[in-house]
Each structure stands twice: as structure tokens, then as C-alpha cells.
Structure 1
Amino acid sequence: MLIYVLINVVIAVIGIIAVLYLLFRLFAWKQGDARFVIEARRRNPFELKKITQDTAVFETNVPFQNMGKQLGTIMDFYPRTLLPHEQYDKCVIHSQLANTAAERDDNYWESVIYYPGEGGTLRVTIALVSKNNTIREDLKTFPDMPIDLVYQVVSRSEWYIHKARITLKASEVQHALELN
């Protein structure tokens, strides 16, 4: 008889713990989390900032925002250009990303905490360096180049890495070259 009472007590304790855990998960879900959105479709067109005999530098600004319910920290943010040599090999590509609210020129993202509804603007800089010192000629056949904006977020949940994609379009490059 004592064993049945002990088993019932153990089952009741396990049941109470399960209910408390479910209530906690429901509370945490209701509280929400940080959710960063890179608004790639709202980015400015790439502009030609500088051109020399061998280098063309393009820049764009991309807005982002914390659309979640809690504050979150962007720990790291960097661009990754995706242009294989098989597709285009006339230029060497250098990319840089900066927070316009805290400009740096060393390609380092300083961690920033963003409250819900807050955001900022990224400045993405792409330098195309001609291998033959003929940048204008080389850019005539420049294709669309995807650029992944990779970032690490820390918030209430476990940290995660996410990415958004923008594209340096061939038409933007040609238009910029026509204006200069």
C-alpha cells in the first residue's frame, strides 16, 4: 500500500513539474524575443563613390530594425560577396560593412544593443580592383553579384547566425559608369 502512495506522489510531482514547465514556456513565448529584419528591398541603389584607373568603389545603405518584443544585441556583422572566378575573374573584390551610427574604417562591427522597434542603417562598400588596370573596360561585362549580409544575434533565446542577401546589379554598375 505504501508503494502505491509513493508512486502516486511521484506521479503528482512529475505532473506539477510538467504543468509548471508548460506555464513557463507559455510565459516565455508571450514575452517574445528580438527579431532583426534586414530590409534589403529598401536599400539605396549602389552608387559609384570613387573610380580610378584600377579601382571602382560602390556603396549602398541598407536599413535594419529589431521587429521583436525584446531587446537584442548584434554581436557581429559582415558582408560576404558571392562571385566565383568561373563567372567573372577580371577584378578582385573587397567588401566592407559599417554601422552608420558608429562609423569605423577597420571593417569591425562593434556590438550594439537594439531595443524593440529600434534599428539603424548599414553602409555596404564594395571595391572592385582590376587585375589589368583597366577598370572601366573590365566592368563592361560585370554580372549581378549577390552579397550576403551575415550577422550574429544574442537575445533571450540562444545566439544565432542569420543572413540577408542584397545584389550589386550589373545595371547599377553600368548606370554608375555612364554618369561618371
Structure 2
Amino acid sequence: MLFYVLINIIVALIGICAVFYLLFRLFAWRQGDAHFVIESRKRKPFVLKEISTDAAVFETEVPFRNTGKQGGTIMDFYPRHLLPYEQYDKCIVHSQLANIAAERDDGYWESVIILPGKGGHIRVTVELVSKNGNIKQDLQTFPDMSIDLVYQVVARSEWYIHKARITLKASEVQHALKSI
């Protein structure tokens, strides 16, 4: 008889723990989490920032915001340009990004906490260096170049890495070359 009473108590405790766990999960779900959106469609057009005989520097600004219910931290943020030499091999590409609110020139993304409903702007800089020394001539055949913006988020849920894509369009490069 005592054995059955102990089993009933253990089962009741497990049931109470399960109910509390479900209530906690429901509470946490209602609290929400951070959700970052890189608004790549709202980016400013790339502009020619600097040009020399062998290099050209283009820049754009891309807005981002936290659409979630909680604050979150962007721990790391970097660009990855995608221009294989089979597609175009006349230039060497260097890219970096910076948080406009905390500008740095060393390519390092300083961790930043973004509150819900808030955001900022990212400055993406692309430097194209000519392999033969004549950047104006090399850029005449420059194709569209995708750039992945890769970022790591730490929030209430487990950390994750996500990416958004922007494109340095050939038309933007041609328009910039005509304006100089």
C-alpha cells in the first residue's frame, strides 16, 4: 500500500513539473525574441566614393532593424562578395562593412544590442583593384556582383547565423563611371 502511495506521489510530482514546464514555455513564447531584418531592398544605390587609375571604391547604406519583441545582440557582421574569376577576372575585390552608428575603419564589427523596434544602417564598402592598372577600362565589362551580409545574433533563443544578400549592379558601376 505504501508503495502505491509513493508511486502516486511521484506521478503527481512529474505531472506538476510537466504543467509548470508547459506554462513556462507558453510564457517564454509570449515574451517573444529578437528578430533582425536586413532591409536589402531598401538599400541606397552604390555610389562611387573614390577612384584612381588602378582602383575604385563604391559604398552603399543598408538599413536593418529588430522587428522582434525582445532586444538582441548582433555579435558579428561581415560581407562576403561573390565574384568567381570564371565570371570576371579583371579586378581583385575587397569588401567590408561598418555600423554607421559606431563607425570603425578596421573592418571589425563591434557587438551591439538592438532594442525591439529599433535599428540602424550598415555602410558596405567595396574596393575594386585592377589587375592590369586601368580600372576604368576594366569596369566597362563588370557584371552584377552579389554580396552576402552575414551576421550572428544572440538573443533569448540559441544563437544563430543568418545572411541577407545585396547586389552591386553593373548598371550602378556604369552610371558611376559616366558621372566622372
Give the shorter-chain TM-score range: over 0.9
Q: TM-score, normalised by structure 1?
A: 0.97
What does residue range 62-81 of structure 1 map to in structure 2 within 5 Å? 62-81=62-81
1:126 maps to: 126
Give the whole-Å Cα distance in 1 for the aligned partners of 2:8 and 2:142.
73
What does residue range 21-40 of structure 1 map to in structure 2 within 5 Å? 21-40=21-40
Q: CA deviation at 1:140?
A: 1.2
Q: CA deviation at 1:5?
A: 2.1
SS in structure 2 at match of 1:101? helix
2:136 maps to: 136
Amino acid at match of 2:79: P
Q: CA deviation at 1:6?
A: 2.1
Give the whole-Å Cα distance in 1 for the aligned partners of 2:122 and 2:53.
28
**Runs of 4 or more consecutive aligned structure 1 residues displaced over 3 Å after TM superposition:** none
Give the whole-Å Cα distance in 2 for the aligned partners of 1:21 and 1:86.
55
Q: TM-score, normalised by structure 2?
A: 0.97
Aligned alpha-carbon RMSD (Å): 0.9
2:107 maps to: 107
Give the whole-Å Cα distance in 2 for the aligned partners of 1:142 and 1:2.
83
SS in structure 1 at match of 2:102? coil
Amino acid at match of 1:147: I
Give the whole-Å Cα distance in 2 for the aligned partners of 1:103 and 1:9.
61
2:156 maps to: 156
Give the whole-Å Cα distance in 2 for the aligned partners of 1:97 and 1:17.
48
Give the whole-Å Cα distance in 1 for the aligned partners of 2:89 and 2:2.
80
Aligned length: 180
SS in structure 2 at match of 1:18? helix
Residues 1:6 and 2:6 are matched in the alignment = yes
Identity, in percent, stands at: 76
